Chain A
Amino acid sequence: MRALLKMERPAWLLAAAALVVLVVINGLVQKGFFAPMVLQSNLTTFLPLVLVAIGQTYVILAGDIDLSVGAVAALVNVITVSVMAALGGSAGAIAAGMAAGILVAVACGLLNGLLIAVLRLQPMVTTFGTGIIFSALALWVLPQAGLVVPDAYWSTYGGAILDVPTVLWILLLAGLFVFVLARLPFQSWLKAVGGNRSGAFQSGLPLTGIRIKAFVLSAIFAGLAALCLTGETATGDPLMGQSLGMGSISAVALGGTLLSGGVGGAMGSILGALLLGMIGNVIYFAGLPYEYQTLVQGLIVLAALAGGVVLARR
């Protein structure tokens, strides 16, 4: 038992504990919280941030940051919706729309990666700049919110596959991806690049390629989040997903990943994103006066972030 405690404690343990506490509180304050329908609708709300936070983790592990994820999500959303509408809304059109969206996301990630890893521009300001460009392109593709998504798309997303809700499938697949990637050498390379960049360079790691891949991963997850948001809202909106950037960074930090890079993992970010969603949920159902909700939510998030930092140091 002693030895078990002494073992390297995963950084996400704290987030997991906090999440359990919140689930219990949520079960008390929200009637029928554990009803399948309510769980599914909550998960539908939380899922986009969960996905973006996973991608953001890889960028942050490598010592960079990606502020453009929200804009990537908006661009993917309008591209997907436009392609589906242009091709007539058949099953093939849906597949083509999704593929086009993800391809665009890959292109966005490549651009970020090239600017930051090859041209060595400062990550935070660069992704803010590319974010402006991606939003501009989204406005160009679809100047106003509109266009209808084929029925089959949103009903599949809101429904179930093999009696399991689609959103749960997506969460499980994302979790599986995170689990597998954490066991591949790539994640250790990311940590090496973020933890000690010159050391990683001296030991011969291909820094540039690793950082570019992290940005592409982040953009792909932002694209997947956009596909989920599209299924949820069933429409195209060039201003979609603006809170995803800051939200994903909070989720990553809550999940125990160091924002300076090198330490952490995406499993924690999944929990961090769920935690953020649950905090909002509890406060909403706790019956606080409306105007106090944002303040209390802010205080809890700040306290959680501070607590995580303090406990992680022990």
Chain B
Amino acid sequence: MSDGLTSDINARPWQTKALTLLRDPLTLALLAIVVMLGIGEALSPGFARGDQIVRLLTVAALLGIAAAGQNLVILSGGAGIDLSVGALISFGAVVAGNVMNGADAAILPAILAAIAVTFLFGCVNGIGVTVIRIPPIVMTLGMMAVVQGGLVVFSQGIPSGNAAPALMNFINKPMLFGLPGILFAWLALSIAMVILLRRTSLGFAIYAIGANEQAARLVGLPVKTVRVLVFGLSGALAGLTGVMVIGYTGNSFISVGDQYMLPTIIAVVIGGTSLAGGSGGYVGTVAGAIALVLLQSLLTTLHLEVWGRQLIFGATLLVLLGMYGRQQAPRV
């Protein structure tokens, strides 16, 4: 297994290994990606063409960056979930748009401002969850409403701020090897996430807290600090996504991030991270984000009516979930 903390201790016959591999969410997600590309190419030649795939990966990168934060929150357990990512993406986009206002020179300050503000919002989530002990789903739901309200005040309800040309090129134009810069940024983030989760004490603490919070506290892990940090990171990554989103669309409106909220959760779950916390990883989430975006794109090329597309999307989601997202049966 490439993700998770388990390793193959026992040598098992290859049939068992093959079966385990096939039940591995990452393998399944990759398999689903290949199959969907095949179906798309068969139905509409050119679907799996290079530039189409690059386009698709760009959209997946936006989802994947936001899902990284969601992944950390879910991994750290305690019914951890962040429903405010959508609103924070919007907030990041609006802040970044207003700070840079079309000027290339202001890109870095814009990114820093967006990340700083959303990091603080995320930390407030974390403090609400750990100190006041509000359940994460309630805290982040409330935060979502507050941030949306803050956006209305901040922008007076009018779309405001423009992306700088260099940022738009970074996301929409080829930079190196015919790939836009955002894909390299996503790759760098993915490597950073894997190192964070697999090679740092913070990563081990996240898994430990997610698997068994009480045990983690008893061995002296700073449970509250880690959890506040994790929510803060989720906010910051949502803010970063917001910057990318405004670069992708050119300008920002106050609900631009709403559509990302539930997909981040789904990408994480499809990628094999357990909503109970403690097991999973970011590589699966990357595959999950790509699979999700690919599915949407495939359904768009099918020229179905909206309802047909939605129906297949929902059904596929349930099938994917049924293949490995099942929960344990109660035992005597």
Task: Tell me if B306 and A139 are in contact (CB < 8 A).
Answer: yes
Task: Tell me if A302 and B142 are in contact (CB < 8 A).
Answer: yes
Contacts of A128 in B (CB 8 A): 262, 265-266, 317
Contacts of B157 in A (CB 8 A): 291
- Judge whether B135 is part of the interface by a CB distance below 8 angstroms: yes
Q: Smallest CB–CB gap between B79 and chain A, Å?
A: 6
Nearest A residue to B146, CB-CB = A298
- Judge whether A301 is part of the interface by a CB distance below 8 angstroms: yes
What is the CA–CA distance of A306 and B133 in the complex, to the nearest angstrom? 8
What is the CA–CA distance of A200 and B135 in the complex, to the nearest angstrom? 23
> Which listed residue, B318, B326, B330, touches A129 by the CB 8 Å rule?
B318
Contacts A136-B308, A139-B306, A291-B156 hold; do A125 and B325 have CB atoms under 8 A apart?
A: yes
Contacts of A305 in B (CB 8 A): 134, 138-139, 142
- Judge whether A90 is part of the interface by a CB distance below 8 angstroms: no
Q: A228-265 vs B: 1/0 string, CB under 8 Å?
A: 00000000000000000010011001000011100000
> Which listed residue, B135, B269, B310, B328, touches A136 by the CB 8 Å rule?
B310
Task: Tell me if A259 and B137 are in contact (CB < 8 A).
Answer: yes
Contacts A124-B265, A250-B141 hold; do A132 and B152 have CB atoms under 8 A apart?
A: no
Task: Tell me if A121 and B311 are in contact (CB < 8 A).
Answer: no
Q: A126-146 vs B: 1/0 string, CB under 8 Å?
A: 101111110111111001000
Q: A97-113 vs B: 1/0 string, CB under 8 Å?
A: 00000000000000000
Task: Tell me if A125 and B314 are in contact (CB < 8 A).
Answer: no
What is the CA–CA distance of A115 and B310 in the complex, to the nearest angstrom? 19
Task: Tell me if B321 and A122 are in contact (CB < 8 A).
Answer: yes
Task: Tell me if B146 and A302 are in contact (CB < 8 A).
Answer: yes
Task: Tell me if B135 and A309 are in contact (CB < 8 A).
Answer: yes
Task: Tell me if A260 and B135 are in contact (CB < 8 A).
Answer: yes
- Judge whether A30 is part of the interface by a CB distance below 8 angstroms: no
Task: Tell me if A125 and B275 are in contact (CB < 8 A).
Answer: yes
Contacts of B128 in A (CB 8 A): 306
Contacts A120-B329, A129-B317, A137-B311 hold; do A301 and B153 have CB atoms under 8 A apart?
A: no
Nearest A residue to B274, CB-CB = A122
Q: B289-318 vs A: 1/0 string, CB under 8 Å?
A: 000000000000000011111110111011
> Which listed residue, A131, A249, A310, touches B132 by the CB 8 Å rule?
A310
> Which listed residue, B81, B141, B265, B325, touches A246 by the CB 8 Å rule?
B141
Question: What is the number of residues of chain B that contact chain A, defined by CB distance less than 8 Å?
Answer: 50
> Which of A120, A125, A128 has the most B CB atoms < 10 Å from its CB?
A125
Within 83-115 of B, Cβ neighbours of A (below 8 Å) are at: none
Contacts A121-B326, A121-B327, A259-B135 hold; do A132 and B314 have CB atoms under 8 A apart?
A: yes
- Judge whether B143 is part of the interface by a CB distance below 8 angstroms: yes
> Which of A197, A302, A306 has the most B CB atoms < 10 Å from its CB?
A302
Task: Tell me if B318 and A122 are in contact (CB < 8 A).
Answer: no
Contacts of B142 in A (CB 8 A): 250, 298, 301-302, 305-306
Nearest A residue to B330, CB-CB = A201
- Judge whether A296 is part of the interface by a CB distance below 8 angstroms: yes
Q: B151-172 vs A: 1/0 string, CB under 8 Å?
A: 0110011000000000000000
Contacts of A139 in B (CB 8 A): 305-307, 310
- Judge whether B38 is part of the interface by a CB distance below 8 angstroms: no
- Judge whether A299 is part of the interface by a CB distance below 8 angstroms: yes
- Judge whether B331 is part of the interface by a CB distance below 8 angstroms: yes
Secondary structure of the A side of the interface?
helix
Task: Tell me if B317 and A132 are in contact (CB < 8 A).
Answer: yes
Contacts of A140 in B (CB 8 A): 305, 307-308, 311
- Judge whether B332 is part of the interface by a CB distance below 8 angstroms: yes
Nearest B residue to A67, CB-CB = B262
Nearest B residue to A295, CB-CB = B149
> Which listed residue, B137, B306, B313, B322, touches A249 by the CB 8 Å rule?
B137
- Judge whether A41 is part of the interface by a CB distance below 8 angstroms: no
Nearest A residue to B128, CB-CB = A306
Contacts of B175 in A (CB 8 A): none
- Judge whether A297 is part of the interface by a CB distance below 8 angstroms: yes
Task: Tell me if A309 and B133 are in contact (CB < 8 A).
Answer: yes
Contacts of B139 in A (CB 8 A): 302, 305-306
Task: Tell me if B314 and A129 are in contact (CB < 8 A).
Answer: yes
> Which listed residue, B145, B306, B317, B325, touches A298 by the CB 8 Å rule?
B145
> Which listed residue, A133, A136, A296, touches B149 by the CB 8 Å rule?
A296
Task: Tell me if A292 and B153 are in contact (CB < 8 A).
Answer: yes
- Judge whether B76 is part of the interface by a CB distance below 8 angstroms: no
Contacts of A302 in B (CB 8 A): 139, 142-143, 145-146
Nearest B residue to A133, CB-CB = B314
Q: Smallest CB–CB gap between B313 and chain A, Å?
A: 6
Task: Tell me if A294 and B137 are in contact (CB < 8 A).
Answer: no
Q: Which 10 A-B pairs have the closest CB atoms?
A: A295-B149, A302-B142, A298-B145, A132-B314, A136-B310, A294-B149, A201-B330, A133-B314, A139-B307, A298-B146
Interchain residue pairs with CB less than 8 A apart (5): A121-B326, A133-B318, A253-B135, A302-B145, A305-B139
User: Chain B interface (Cβ within 8 Å of chain A)?
Assistant: 79, 81, 128, 132-135, 137-139, 141-143, 145-150, 152-153, 156-157, 262, 265-266, 269, 275, 305-311, 313-315, 317-318, 321-322, 325-332
User: Chain A interface (Cβ within 8 Å of chain B)?
Assistant: 115, 119-122, 124-126, 128-133, 135-140, 143, 197-198, 200-202, 207, 246, 249-250, 253, 258-260, 291-299, 301-302, 305-306, 309-310, 313
